[in-house]
Chain A
Amino acid sequence: MIDWSAFLIVALVSWVAALCIVTAYSFGVRLLAVARDEGSNTSASKLGAYLCFGVCGVIVLFGVVLIVPQLSRAILGA
Chain B
Amino acid sequence: MDLTLIVVLVIALALFFDFTNGFHDTANAMATPIATGAITPKKAVALAAILNLVGAFLSTEVAKTISGGIINEDPTTGVQIMPEMIFAGLMGAVVWNVFTWLLGLPSSSSHALFGGLVGAAIVGAGFGAIDYGVLLSKVLLPALCAPLIAGVSAYMCTKLAYSITKRQNGASPKRGGFRYGQIFSSSLVALAHGTNDAQKTMGVITLTLVASGLQTAGTGPHLWVVATCAIAIALGTYTGGWRIIRTMGSGLTDVKPAQGFAAEVSTASAILTSSHLGFALSTTQVASGSVIGSGLGRKGAEVRWGTAGRIALGWLFTLPAAAIIGGLAAWLTHTGAVGVGIVAVLGVGMLLLFWYLSRKNHVGHEDTLSDIDNSGAAVNILSKKERRARAKAEAKAARKAAQEAMDKEPDNS
Contact = CB atoms under 8 A, between A and B. Distances in A.
- Whether A and B are associated in the same complex: the answer reads yes
Interface of A: 1-3, 6-7, 9-11, 13-15, 17-19, 21-23, 25-30, 32-33, 36-37, 56, 60, 63-64, 66-70
Contacts of A14: 149-150, 153, 266, 269-270, 272-274
A22 B174 contact: no
B249 interface: no
B156 A19 contact: yes
A10 B272 contact: no
A28 B174 CA distance: 11
A68 B178 CA distance: 26
B160 A22 contact: yes
B270 A7 contact: no
Nearest to B173: A33
Given A2-B136, A56-B181, A69 B61 contact: yes
B160 A26 contact: yes
Interface residues of B, number: 52
B145 interface: yes
Contacts of A7: 141, 145, 279
B187 to A, nearest CB: 9
Contacts of B340: none
Given A1-B133, A29-B177, A17 B273 contact: yes
Nearest first, the 4 closest Cβ-Cβ pairs linking A and B are: A26-B164, A17-B269, A33-B174, A29-B177
B54 to A, nearest CB: 9
Contacts of B154: 18
Contacts of A68: 58, 195
Contacts of A1: 133, 136-137
B191 A15 contact: no
Given A1-B133, A22-B261, 16 more contacts: A1-B136, A1-B137, A14-B269, A15-B149, A18-B154, A22-B161, A33-B171, A33-B174, A33-B177, A60-B184, A64-B188, A64-B191, A66-B276, A67-B58, A67-B188, A67-B195
